Amino acid sequence: MGLQREQIVEGLVEILGSDRVITDEKVLKESSLDRYRKYEQVNEIYTQPIPAAVVYVESTQDVKEVLMFANENGINVVPRTGQSAIEGGLETAKENSIVVDGSGMNKVLKIDKYNMQVTVECGVPLQGLDDMLREQGYTTGHSPQSKPLAQLGGLVATRSIGQFSTLYGGIEDMVVGLEAVFPNGEVCRVKNIPRRAAGPDIRHVVIGNEGALCYITEVTIKIFKYQPENNVFLGYTIDDMKNGFDALRAVMVEGFKPSIARLYDAADASLHFDWSGDKNVLIFMAEGPSGITAATAAGIDKLVKAFPGVDSVDPKIIEKWFAGLNWGPEEIAEEKLEILATKNIGITTEVSGCWDCIYEIYDNACKRIMEEVPDMTLMGGHSSHSYINGTNMYFVYYYNIVDCTPEEEINKYHNQINRIICEEVIKYGGSIVHHHGLGKARAHYVWEEYGSSFYILDTLKKAFDPNGIMNMGTLIPIKHNEKHPWEF
Amino acid sequence: MKSILGSFKVVPDLDLLSAEDWEPGVDHLVDTSFVKSMLNVFDESALEMMLKLSDLGESLGTSIKLNGVTVGNKLCDNYLKTLYALGFARADRIESDDEILFKPERTVAALKEYIEKTEMPDLIVMGSKSADNASGCVPLFLAEELKIPCITAVTEMQLLEDGKVRVTNLYDGGIQIRDVQGTFMAVIGDVPGTYLRVPTLKERMQRGKKEIIPVLLETENEEKQKLINSHPVIEKREGRLVSSEDLYPFLKERMMKL
């Protein structure tokens, strides 16, 4: 027999004191979901089990004691920092969960300019950290659209990626060391080194664990010289989307390293630009020392212009547009009003695939969604992170919510669209998740995503979280409808 | 009520400008050429209000023809196609490549000529002002030119069974509600939380593909006003820091002035 709700709260108050254990009903309800259930969220309808408490931890010791308490009593724990999750990772899927908020652990512990690394606690906001570094001539090189909201612990936990990834890499390329607490109270530190070959890279047990294995309390990431005066922007329209993917591929294969390499289809471009009309849009930015940026821009320009149906765009337009791309609390508040007034909602799903299938994934998924899902008002997407062997596809879609309640919306629309995207990606051998994390929604496709390697994930979960208390339902679903996996 | 004409303006989304972009450039204007456009928010409320009146008309068994018009260049065509997709019978663009900022009389003349050439609607709906030119003159001047009554700061309109329109507007610090019959101009004020509904892709395919053929008018665009300068209005309280030693002499000086 597990602890009752009141006993859980009492136990937490004993560990942290009453000030840091929040049981306010509104806070608890708002903490039961994330932006995956955006329509429920804006309508303030809460369908997920309400947590017993939200607790604010301030040290590794706090985290350790809370996790041990939860582990001994079989209580589900949902770790969080900046709360910018959009794939259900913050949903409290089990009754009487504890939401462990690390946003109070917000100290920058060490800026090591000689070794080019910075060590921070998990609740350090990325925007604040990067602004501070830029003032000193450095940058994290990490700039996701959620930058105004996200904090370092969550970014590492979800294998985040930033808009300059083609040059700096994803968060997994930036993390050099970290500290994490496991459910049994074990505190593990992975030391900060440039590289090592001492067995498996155990950083990757922690990076991307989505709070399902451990709680990240501290991270050390690389820093880079910040030289915005050398930035060069390039913009083009391109008639054919397939040629657009080929142009991106050519840039990567020929060895260029732009910090931004993006391809928008016409529908997605129409959300950002007036001038694109029915054309697709290619965007690049070269960053770094001036000699390199000039050569990179000149090389990419020559390469792209060789493709058919390409026209150049004034680079100033691209530069100015890019400066206003991030999302913060103001945009979210405005979006809420708009959704409530119009019952029109916009959502994204990001996937990846090799060059030989990414166009088919994009094209088939868009066609199927427009045919199979009712009330669509926009269907498109863009590629924003490219690699030598492939790229990502960031599907962007809007739909009107017609004849259904906020509770019904998720199964009528959002899950159906996700299903089609996942089916198409799996059919072509891509990955159903590029950088938002599996969360709880796409976790229902974890077996198809992992194939035979699911054994490794399953074993990790059983080994590090034998009592099943770490963010249950994330990575691996608690309940799964085999016949209709998209209904939950 | 048989037809409503909504006049709207496409403006740059000024929220996308950064602080350093707010620098007067050529002709003392801020360069907004690189930011995305948007429907002027007051006009967006106006267009949605038209659709709601049409919905109400349908429920009362009355079919109301909705027409939309704007003055501008090709940039406006996507917005006009959206109106077609939403069921507007007609959506026109009066061709204007010229800069019409700060020249309300030119817009008024163009709209008057357009109405005379097409049809006089039962109701004209316009936003009270636009983000890039808050003169607020166009609807008032146009109503005067057309010799029709004009109600300002409208926040709500309802169609009544007898064909009248119940208009709610802000008036002298209060709210005024009246039932209006006959042709009039409704100038839509600040209606927070109103957005134009979004047509589905199917509606766009069915109705929104119509080619926009710009309307060319003969209106003499004589320039009566020319912008010669612009500067920010500094709004701050008049105040002066006074140390404790200076306080008594300061108060005494003020008293003497009174």
- B25 interaction partners in chain A (CB closer than 8 Å): none
Q: Does A344 touch chain B (CB under 8 A)?
A: yes
Question: What type of residue sits at position B59?
Answer: S
pLDDT in tens, A336-386: 999 999 999 999 999 999 999 999 999 999 999 999 999 999 999 999 999
User: What chain A residue is nearest to B79 in terms of C-alpha separation?
Assistant: A274
The verdict on B75 touching A (C-beta cutoff 8 Å) is: yes
Residues of A in contact with B34 (CB under 8 A): 314, 316-317, 320-321
pLDDT of residue B209: 85
CB < 8 Å to B202, chain A: 376
Hey, are the CB atoms on A273 and B201 less than 8 Å from each other? no
Domain A228-322 CATH assignment equals 3.40.640.10: no
Residue B26 has pLDDT above 90, yes or no: no
Residues of A in contact with B16 (CB under 8 A): 320-321, 324
Does B31 contact chain A (CB < 8 Å)? Answer: no
Per-residue pLDDT at A77 = 98
**Which chain A residues contact residue B194 at CB under 8 A?**
341
Mean pLDDT is lowest, of A118-122, A309-313, A423-427, B11-15, for: B11-15
User: In this predicted structure, what is the pLDDT of residue B99?
Assistant: 62
Instruction: Answer whether residue B223 shows pLDDT above 70.
Output: no
CATH number at residue B107: 3.40.50.620
The sign one gets for the Cα dihedral A160, A162, A166, A172 is: negative
Average pLDDT, chain B: 89
Give a three-class secondary structure readout of chain A: CCCCHHHHHHHHHHHHCHHHEECCHHHHHHCCCCHHHHHHHHCCCCCCCCCCEEEECCCHHHHHHHHHHHHHHCCCEEEECCCCCCCCCCCCCCCCCEEEECCCCCCEEEEECCCCEEEEECCCEHHHHHHHHHHCCEECCCCCCCCCCCEHHHHHHCCCCCCCHHHHCCHHHHEEEEEEECCCCCEEEECCCCCCCCCCCCHHHHCCCCCCCCEEEEEEEECEECCHHHCEEEEEEECCHHHHHHHHHHHHHCCCCCCEEEEECHHHHHHHCCCCCCCEEEEEEECCCHHHHHHHHHHHHHHHHCCCCEEEECHHHHHHHHHCCCCCHHHHHHHHHHHHHHCEEEEEEEEEEECCCHHHHHHHHHHHHHHHCCCEEEEEEEECCECCCEEEEEEEEEEECCCCCHHHHHHHHHHHHHHHHHHHHHHHCCECCCCCCCCCCHHHHHHHHHHHHHHHHHHHHHHHCCCCCECCCCCCCCCCCCCCCCCC
Mean pLDDT of B200-225: 80
* A116 has pLDDT over 90: yes
Q: What are the extents of the domains in chain A?
A: 5-101, 108-225, 228-322, 329-434, 445-488
Residue in A with minimal Cα distance to B18: A324
Question: Could you report the per-residue pLDDT of A415-460, keeping only the tens digit for each?
Answer: 999 999 999 999 999 999 999 999 999 999 999 999 999 999 999 9
The pLDDT of residue A221? 98
- Burial code (b: 16+ CB inside 10 Å, e: under 16) for A175-201 equals bbbbbbbbbebebeebebeeeeeeeee
Contacts of B18 in chain A (CB under 8 A): 320, 323-324
pTM: 0.91
- The pLDDT of A283-291, averaged and rounded, is 96
Average pLDDT value over all residues in chain A: 96
The reply to whether residue B198 touches residue A344, judged by beta carbons under 8 angstroms, is: yes
- A-B interface: how many C-beta pairs under 8 angstroms? 52
> Residue A263 pLDDT more than 70?
yes
Does residue B151 contact residue B187 with C-beta atoms inside 8 Å?
yes
Tens of pLDDT, residue by residue over A27-45, are 999 999 999 999 999 999 9
Nearest residue of chain B to residue A402 (CA atoms):
B200
The answer to whether A197 contacts chain B (CB < 8 Å) is no
Range B213-240 average pLDDT: 69
- Minimal Cα–Cα distance from B37 to chain A, Å? 7
Q: What is the pLDDT of residues A296-325, one digit of tens each?
A: 999 999 999 999 999 999 998 888 888 777
Confidence check: pLDDT of A475 > 80? yes
The total of structural domains in chain B comes to 1
User: pLDDT tens across B163-173, in order?
Assistant: 899 999 998 88
Q: What is the pLDDT of residue B97?
A: 66
Q: Mutating which of A42, A265, A274 best tests the B interface, going by the most B Cβ atoms within 10 A? A: A274
Q: Provide, rounded to the nearest whole percent, the portion of chain A with pLDDT above 70.
A: 100
ipTM exceeds 0.90, yes or no: no
Q: Would you call B174 an interface residue with chain A, using a CB distance cutoff of 8 Å?
A: no
Using CB atoms, which residue from B16, B75, B198 is nearest to A324?
B16
Interface test mutation site (partner A, options B38, B75, B77, B201, max chain A beta carbons within 10 A): B201
Contacts of A316 in chain B (CB under 8 A): 34
User: Is the pLDDT reported for residue A233 higher than 90?
Assistant: yes
Of B21, B78, B200, the CB nearest to A376: B200
User: Per residue in A237-246, is it b (16+ CB within 10 Å) or e — as a string?
Assistant: bbebbebbbb
The residue that leads in pLDDT, A388 or B219, is A388
**Looking at the complex, does the CB of residue A270 fall below 8 Å from at least one CB of chain B?**
yes
Residue A1: pLDDT above 80? no
As a whole number of angstroms, the longest Cα–Cα distance in chain B is 78
The residue in chain A having the minimum alpha-carbon distance to the alpha carbon of residue B75 is A274
pLDDT digits (tens, 9 = 90+) for A408-421: 999 999 999 999 99
Which carries the bigger pLDDT value, residue A232 or residue B210? A232
Instruction: Dump pLDDT digits (tens) for B64-107.
Output: 999 999 999 999 999 999 999 999 999 999 988 666 666 788 88
Q: How many CB atoms lie within 10 A of CB A139?
A: 21
A143-188 pLDDT tens trace = 999 999 999 999 999 999 999 999 999 999 999 999 999 999 999 9
* Rounded average pLDDT over A273-297: 96
CATH 3.30.2350.10 fits A5-101, yes or no: no
- Mean per-residue pLDDT, A54-64: 98
What is the per-residue pLDDT for B102? 66
Topology of domain A329-434 in CATH is GMP Synthetase; Chain A, domain 3 (3.30.300)
Q: Is B194 on the interface with A (CB under 8 A)?
A: yes
Protein fold of A108-225: 3.30.465
Q: What is the pLDDT of residue A207?
A: 98
pLDDT score, position B221: 52
Chain A contact for B211, CB < 8 A? Answer: no
* pLDDT at residue B176, as a whole number: 95
With beta carbons under 8 A apart, name residues in chain A contacting B195: 337-338, 341-342
